[in-house]
Structure 1
Amino acid sequence: MRSNAFLVISIIASFLLAAYAGNFYQDVAQTFGDQRFKILEGGQLLTLSLDKTSGSGFQSKNEYLFGRFDMQLKLVPGNSAGTVATFYLSSQGQGHDEIDFEFLGNSSGQPYTVHTNVYTQGKGGREQRFSLWFDPTTSFHTYSIVWNPQRIIFLVDNIPIRVFNNQESNGVPYPKNQAMRVYCSLWNADDWATQGGRVKTDWTLAPFTVSYRNLNANGCVKVPGSSACGSTNSLNNDQAWQTQGLDAKGRNRIRWVQQKFMIYNYCSDAARFPQGFPTECRGSRF
């Protein structure tokens, strides 16, 4: 009986599911930025700042293999040209996987650009960009990444804006074997971020600040030698992300976003791919 109990405990530990809407003191670690990284309100709010010396950033303490990841952000107000705020998943190493939300700053009165990308085995180049249909600087909005074995879904306030499907059967690499952490950062990219680098950062307005709250990570780490997930956390047993796709309402919403707010799609950039579009561009968009 004792050996059986030990086996059960070992199996549960190996699955290690993390599902929480947590506390930043407990759940993240600073990656750079010194005093530009601040946790406030008892761990419920986190701010990152950028000045001419440095930006700032943090990462989750846990690594995940598949899951749903939600974060609320309030972006840099006013003239944020040249700045980039991020919320993304990434593994480590030269052949890393990565799933990106990047928020490209703007001159006052111009809409923010949401830049999305998917890296597999160290190769990205799958950019889609969108304008937002609201001002993301006046209040918090929720940005979500759903990552399961079938697809990756990007959502804004629970409205899908992009789907990247698993097309391994057609020879397209898909991120499925490398556990990833949640990363967030604020940094200067005025060589490319705003109008292709034509608009530079106005450092007289620094420091620039972006606010984060309500990190909700619902996913599991990889079991050695397997890709299985198991739930041992009673706080949040919602595992819908494991098979989440788009229903009819979701397909209508993503069509609305892509028709009205998509401003760049690598799958439509014929000048970039004169020999033909990448294989994944020929499949179903949703």
Structure 2
Amino acid sequence: MALIWQNNLLLVLLSLFCMAMVVSSHDRHYTTPNVTRLTDYFSHVSVNQAFSNFFGGKNIQVISNGSMARLALDKSSGSGFLSKNKYYYGFFSAAIKLPAGFSSGVVVAFYLSNSDTYPHHHDEIDIELLGHDKRDDWVLQTNIYANGSVSTGREEKFYFWFDPTQQHHYYSIIWNSHHIVFLVDNIPVREFPNRGAFSSAYPSRPMSLYVTIWDGSQWATHGGKYPVNYKYAPFIASFADMEVGGCTYTNNNNNNHTVQAVSSCSKSGISSLDPIDGQDFASLSKQQALAMDWARRKLMFYSYCKDTSRYKVMPPECK
């Protein structure tokens, strides 16, 4: 009897140990680094004034006089909007609250793209928030395509240090002639410099900003293992504090012939400088570099530069 009791106790302890090991990242306690709040440098834009409907109009709800929007995914459609302007470079940010509950296969995306202008060889800078199954957290995926390299993604994936479904958190992109930086709550998680081997894969043509929610069942959760379960629909993502600052691009057309391409840079950045030229946007400060190192050591779990099964010959910047 004593042996049976001991065996049962051992099984209980083993189960508790396994449960403790399978813990979501937002249940772990992190002391986050202090960083400059770049999101404080820009004014919020109205969704109605800065964006147009992209698709799924009935699933788009703009509220609070245009300061917030809700995008829904249901069995009939996802939804999204896109910026009315195209941009050469800039700072792009949104406070996003993700759908709670079972959300496998759901993708919430905040990204820059020119696929409408270059459908077969476009550029793209992605923040993709990938839904989870019952065992895993939401995942942040960053990706970059450039100069038609649409078959060669440069993905890196991260867990969060918070629950992204409980409140709004900032997701931001810096894109200028110096580098691309992805930030979460103003903490840089990835930098893609425009120099050396990186330059051949660096987006440099005007892009629009897109905000979407859609069904990524074929790939989003464990490579498509867990598709969207519409029993839990609608899946609703909330967006607030939209920020768009940078150089805008305008095509002046006359009888369908492009006469002139005009860039117009806002002057709302620090010290009346354009955001792409401001000191805080040209390079990472020592504080930001340390914060990025923290994020990558603690939270990154996939980088294309370490995926030898996918890349027999590594992209040049990985070397």
Structure 1 residue 163 and structure 2 residue 191: aligned? yes
1:256 and 1:118 map into 2 onto residues whose CA distance is: 22
Matching residue of 1:122: 148
More helix by share: 2
Matching residue of 1:36: 59
Query: SS in structure 2 opposite 1:212?
Result: strand
1:131 to 145, 155, 159: 159
Answer yes or no: is the 8 Å Cα contact 2:246–2:265 preserved in 1.
no
Query: SS in structure 1 opposite 2:192?
Result: strand
Query: SS in structure 2 opposite 1:30?
Result: strand
Structure 1 residue 218 and structure 2 residue 218: aligned? no
For residues 49-98 of structure 1, give each alpha carbon's deviation from its aligned partner in whole angstroms, at most 9, with x where no partner exists.
01111100100111111111111100011111110000001113122111
Change (3 A) 1:228 1:203: closer
* 1:247, distance to aligned residue in structure 2 (A): 1.6
2:286 to 248, 253, 258: 248
Matching residue of 1:260: 298
Answer yes or no: is the 8 Å Cα contact 1:20–1:236 preserved in 2.
no
Paired residues for 1:131-150 under 5 Å: 131-150=159-178
Change (3 A) 1:38 1:167: same
Structure 1 residue 56 and structure 2 residue 91: aligned? no
1:140 and 1:233 map into 2 onto residues whose CA distance is: 24
2:263 and 2:51 map into 1 onto residues whose CA distance is: 25
1:235 and 1:65 map into 2 onto residues whose CA distance is: 19
Change (3 A) 1:171 1:30: closer
Structure 1 residue 280 and structure 2 residue 317: aligned? yes
* 1:245, distance to aligned residue in structure 2 (A): 1.6
Matching residue of 2:121: 95
2:51 and 2:146 map into 1 onto residues whose CA distance is: 24
1:252 and 1:51 map into 2 onto residues whose CA distance is: 41
Tell me the percent identity. Answer: 37
Query: SS in structure 2 opposite 1:66?
Result: strand
1:35 and 1:240 map into 2 onto residues whose CA distance is: 35
Greater alpha carbon shift after TM alignment, 107-116 vs 45-54: 107-116
Structure 1 residue 26 and structure 2 residue 49: aligned? yes
Which runs of 5 or more structure 1 residues have no equivalent in the other structure? Answer: 1-18
Matching residue of 2:274: 239
Matching residue of 2:91: 68
2:219 to 172, 182, 192: 192
2:270 and 2:198 map into 1 onto residues whose CA distance is: 39
Q: TM-score, normalised by structure 1?
A: 0.85
* 1:34, distance to aligned residue in structure 2 (A): 2.5
Answer yes or no: is the 8 Å Cα contact 1:168–1:174 preserved in 2.
no
For residues 123-170 of structure 1, give each alpha carbon's deviation from its aligned partner in whole angstroms, at most 9, with x where no partner exists.
141111111111001000001100010110000000000011113577
2:198 and 2:155 map into 1 onto residues whose CA distance is: 20
For residues 104-133 of structure 1, give each alpha carbon's deviation from its aligned partner in whole angstroms, at most 9, with x where no partner exists.
001246211111111101214111111111
Q: TM-score, normalised by structure 2?
A: 0.76
Which runs of 5 or more structure 2 residues have no equivalent in the other structure? Answer: 1-41, 252-259
Change (3 A) 1:232 1:170: closer
Change (3 A) 1:234 1:84: closer
Answer yes or no: is the 8 Å Cα contact 1:20–1:235 preserved in 2.
no
Answer yes or no: is the 8 Å Cα contact 2:146–2:203 preserved in 1.
yes
* 1:267, distance to aligned residue in structure 2 (A): 0.6
1:209 and 1:200 map into 2 onto residues whose CA distance is: 17
Change (3 A) 1:222 1:34: closer
Answer yes or no: is the 8 Å Cα contact 1:50–1:208 preserved in 2.
yes
Task: Give the number of equivalent residue pairs.
Answer: 262
Structure 1 residue 110 and structure 2 residue 136: aligned? yes
Query: SS in structure 2 opposite 1:183?
Result: strand
Answer yes or no: is the 8 Å Cα contact 1:167–1:173 preserved in 2.
no
Change (3 A) 1:231 1:83: closer
* 1:232, distance to aligned residue in structure 2 (A): 5.4
Answer yes or no: is the 8 Å Cα contact 1:37–1:56 preserved in 2.
yes
Query: SS in structure 2 opposite 1:270?
Result: coil
User: What is the identity, as a one-letter code, of the residue corresponding to 2:144?
Assistant: V
- Could you say which structure has the larger radius of gyration? 2
